Chain A
Amino acid sequence: KQEVTQIPAALSVPEGENLVLNCSFTDSAIYNLQWFRQDPGKGLTSLLLIQSSQREQTSGRLNASLDKSSGRSTLYIAASQPGDSATYLCAVKVGAGSYQLTFGKGTKLSVIP
Chain B
Amino acid sequence: DTAVSQTPKYLVTQMGNDKSIKCEQNLGHDTMYWYKQDSKKFLKIMFSYNNKELIINETVPNRFSPKSPDKAHLNLHINSLELGDSAVYFCASSVTGRGRGAFFGQGTRLTVV
Which residues of A are in contact with B by a Cβ distance under 8 Å?
A: 32, 34, 36, 38, 41-46, 49, 51, 87, 89, 91, 93, 96-97, 99-103, 105-106
Contacts and interface: CB of A to CB of B under 8 A. Distances in A.
Contacts of B48: 99-100
Given A46-B104, A100-B33, A106-B41, 13 more contacts: A32-B101, A34-B102, A42-B107, A43-B105, A44-B92, A46-B100, A46-B102, A87-B41, A91-B43, A91-B102, A100-B45, A102-B45, A103-B42
Q: Is the interface of B mostly helix, strand, loop or mixed?
A: strand
Contacts of B41: 38, 87, 105-106
B7 interface: no
Contacts of B40: 105
Interface of B: 31, 33, 40-45, 48, 50, 55-56, 90, 92, 96-98, 100-107, 109
A99 B109 CA distance: 24
Given A42-B107, A43-B90, A105-B40, A99 B31 contact: yes
